[in-house]
Structure 1
């Protein structure tokens, strides 16, 4: 299931959150969308193993492990970082392991070659035949799944649709299925200007913009200002946000509202893309640094 919930703050505009995080207990949000047609393709090709890539706190790693277990696939995660770093598995890797995923650790330099044909061939030599799912799940089949996020009702009801952006797959699907009168805003979770070029590989429309002012330093940086916002938002709405993607997006939306970025009386739809499993690991890091933690875990 998913639902649209109005965020009742004293704004001169209407803000709704689409709870795609409620689609599935383990394969939530955009990961459910991205994996849907990839799983079907792997089944049609009679593959029995899924191989994918991710960092040690990757939502995609857990989602692929869960999708594999649910659909009868063996799963292998190629993990960025030396194995010695993860002798004691963090909550994300421990969860994926409990779902049956095996790990293959590669150093960060090797990991940068994850799309290199020679590296892929080396994985086939090691693991045999498999269906390859890219880092973050983004490929043409993932875009197809993400095009289903925006419904016909959404196209008619909202002036703006907002999404967090990691690899660009989710927002590409949203752009493709949006109406031309709508403005699609992507809130970058990472530093860098590469996202727009990645998105242009999948879209033809021009009714979109990447907002790069709210990445808070990137994936591994959790700033106190963001943690305080997440806790306040949850206290007032009872909607949990993750600190890597959706939380940054919502922080950015609130800030842009205050700065009068949106046209008067606008209706905004913010897509909750899930990722809540990572909160436990983030809180471990914050606790170790004696910093304020996120006051909810999923």
Structure 2
């Protein structure tokens, strides 16, 4: 790993570099867990939680947290550990449960929303499907273990209709701010027979909401090579069509989604009010 590679890498790529370095120092294969397992599985980790590598001791309590490695001492069942990309890692289900137990509410919701949507496995060999009810059962099986209560809260709030981590973080913070719960991924008919889908909809308040990540304007997989000006113009036309159905609207990006006080201001400006 060179300094240049590190500087150019994204946060998940940097964490993978850290995983590789930690694995190389062990005399036996470590079991990666929590946010480290999430990176291997492709589960989004929102927030400053990737600065240390997380390992499981399979119930042993002799290890300590040091040198950038966090050791967890929870007991593991045989099916809680699988091999992925040549590494031992907690299973998809166990990883989601551990994230729900340990991450802040909004970050946990983003992880679980992602986890309960059917998707291709990272190795491309199959489809991963985890039912929300099964995650709640897995939490119940932990009894009074640490983090069970927040895990029940974040898993219970999870919704597979959230289409991105940014939408999940937004929805969680809308809940924390006590604004009315929005409908998700609501389609509005267009005159040409098509549909415009809004991320959030409050029909009783005549309002809609949109989370705008930077990807739709800059990443090739979203832009299709089109110029930014064209994409912005299309988004504006789309918003104008939605406003025929919902006259009040709010748009926000990552910096606002991550800061509840800023998100609150956007929602108030759209005519929404917190519940009593």
Please, what TM-score do these two structures have when normalized by structure 2?
0.30
- Compare relative contact order (CA 8 Å, sep 6+) and give the higher one, 1 or 2: 1
Task: State the structure with more CA Rg.
Answer: 2
